[in-house]
Structure formats: structure tokens, C-alpha cells
Amino acid sequence: MATAPDLNHLAQVHGLLARTALAMGDSAEARLQLSRALEIVDSADFPIASWRVYRTAAEIFAKYGDVDRAAAYRMRFVETVRRLAQNFEPGDRLHKSLLAMLATRTAQLEAMTSLPSRPDSARH
């Protein structure tokens, strides 16, 4: 009898496949794999997989111009990492590491979803 798949790892695999497809320029495959990953993490409490999948979702939606969805998944990413960090004392190395990673990744995601300034806007 086959055992049930480890959904935490399965979500991470689909997220990784989505990132790979994104890097290869395959929009359809990136979205397909992302939807599979999101289906898993949205149906159960898998914070280790969730933060990675939500970060990937923010990147994919930003890449394809869906700024609102990118921002929504960026916020879910932030909330999940903060929740993980709360499992450790503030002085703990893992707490500090998670918050440092959060600051770096959030800045990167915000840069991806910010609208470019118009050249003529500086003159007004």
C-alpha cells in the first residue's frame, strides 16, 4: 500500500517547479505549478512550505503584472515568516535569521511590485 504524500514537501516541490518554469519563461507552467502549491498550503497549516510558496506567488504575479495579487501574497509571506519567528525567543539566532531574511526578501518583493516612475513626473 502506498503512503500518502508528505504535503509539506509536495507544496515546496510545486513551488520550486513554479520558480523553475518562471526562470525558463514558461508562464503557463509557472502558474499551473503555483496553483498546485497554493492549493496545498491554503488547505492546511504548513508554515515552512507556505512562506516559500507565498514568496514565489508574489514573484510570479509581479512578473506578469498582477500587482494586486503580488502584494496580497507578499503580505501573506510576511505574516507567515513573522509567525514562524515568534516560535523563538527574540535573542535566538533563528529568530534573528528569520527577521533578517524577511527584511531582505520583503524589500526585493516590494521593488518587484512597485510601479516605475514616469519620466515626466519629476518635472511637475
Task: Name the band, by pLDDT with cuts 50, 70 and 90, for residue 115.
Answer: low
* Nearest residue to 81 via CA among 107, 67, 101, 60: 101
Q: Contact, 63 vs 49, CB < 8 A?
A: no
CATH class given for the domain over 10-113 = mainly alpha
The model's pLDDT over 10-68, given as tens digits with 9 standing for 90+, comes to 999 999 999 999 999 999 999 999 999 999 999 999 999 999 999 999 999 999 999 99
Instruction: Examine the pLDDT at 1 and tell me if it is beyond 80.
Output: no
65 three-class SS:
coil
Give residue limits of the domains in the chain: 10-113
* Nearest residue to 37 via CA among 64, 55, 63: 55
- The residues, any chain, with a CB within 8 Å of residue 67's CB and separated by 6 or more, are 61, 113, 115
